[in-house]
């Protein structure tokens, strides 16, 4: 039932809303159908980024894809955490060095081991529209741990103008979500893996 709920919510409702009302355009969306498991990596400018990616997924795939979200923001209360996980299928991770909370890399790696896919924004937080921030090394560690896993680069343009940081109202605007084809990292060291992914995303701009 949960898979059906998420599939209809994103594959029908959210996708239609974003394309018709907001003006989101998808480029090479068929890339999502080429592999069963992957990590989606994308630049990040708006809370709507996650919805746009989830809305592009095939209906039967949505329940097996988990956005990685900041637990201190989206999980600041049990109610907020429950709503976030119910409607976005997110895995909430800590951004602080609180040793009592589960290790973020271990949480993500466990999901991958179970056959699940992830959506990760390597910048860590929303930045200035049109300008990518420095990538954090978490994605490099994950792909070093799971070299068999494909990653799908995405470049999003215009999302920061649809729902700018600090705003709550959507503004219709021509936006693009450009999917790259699934690939495996050629690099083996964390720093070079991160650099390879960053370059793969920028190639789509």
pLDDT tens-digit map of 79-108: 777 787 878 899 988 766 666 677 899 999
Per domain, the residue ranges of the chain are: 2-202
pLDDT at 79: 79
Question: In this predicted model, which residue has the larger pLDDT, 49 or 45?
Answer: 49
Residue 62 confidence (pLDDT): 93
17-26, 42-51, 112-121, 133-142, range with greatest mean pLDDT: 112-121
Determine phi and psi for 99, rounding to 5 degrees: -75, -15
pLDDT-based confidence at residue 4 (cuts at 50, 70, 90)? confident
Terminal-residue alpha carbon distance, the chain: 38
What topology is assigned to 2-202 in CATH?
Glycerol-3-phosphate (1)-acyltransferase (3.40.1130)
Is residue 76 over pLDDT 80? Answer: no
pLDDT in tens, 172-202: 677 899 999 999 999 999 999 999 999 999 9
Strand partners, 56: none
* Spatial distance between the Cα atoms of 63 and 8, rounded to a whole number of angstroms: 11
Proportion of the chain in helix, strand, coil states, percent, rounded to 5: 45, 20, 40
Backbone angles phi, psi at 36, to 5 degrees: -80, -30
Summarised one tens digit per residue, pLDDT across range 130-175 is 677 889 999 999 999 999 999 999 999 988 776 666 656 666 677 8
Apex 33 CA angle, 31 and 36, nearest 5 = 115
């Amino acid at each position: 039932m949960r898979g059906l709920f998420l599939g209809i919510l994103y594959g029908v409702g959210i996708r239609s809303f974003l394309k018709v009302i907001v003006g989101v355009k998808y480029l090479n969306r068929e890339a999502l159908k080429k592999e069963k498991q992957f990590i989606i990596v994308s630049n990040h400018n708006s809370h709507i980024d996650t919805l746009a990616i989830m809305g592009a997924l095939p209906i039967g795939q949505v329940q097996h894809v988990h956005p990685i979200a900041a637990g201190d923001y989206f999980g600041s209360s049990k109610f907020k955490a429950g709503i976030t996980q119910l409607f976005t299928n997110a895995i909430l991770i800590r951004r602080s060095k609180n040793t009592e909370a589960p290790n973020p890399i271990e949480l993500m790696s466990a999901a991958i081991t179970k056959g699940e896919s992830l959506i990760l924004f390597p910048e860590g937080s929303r930045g200035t529209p049109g300008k990518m921030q420095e990538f954090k090394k978490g994605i490099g560690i994950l792909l070093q741990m799971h070299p068999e896993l494909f990653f799908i680069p995405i470049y999003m343009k215009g999302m920061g103008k649809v729902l700018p940081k600090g705003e709550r109202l959507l503004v219709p605007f021509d936006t693009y979500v450009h999917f790259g084809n699934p690939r495996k990292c050629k690099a083996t060291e964390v720093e070079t893996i991160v650099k390879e992914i960053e370059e793969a995303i920028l190639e789509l701009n």
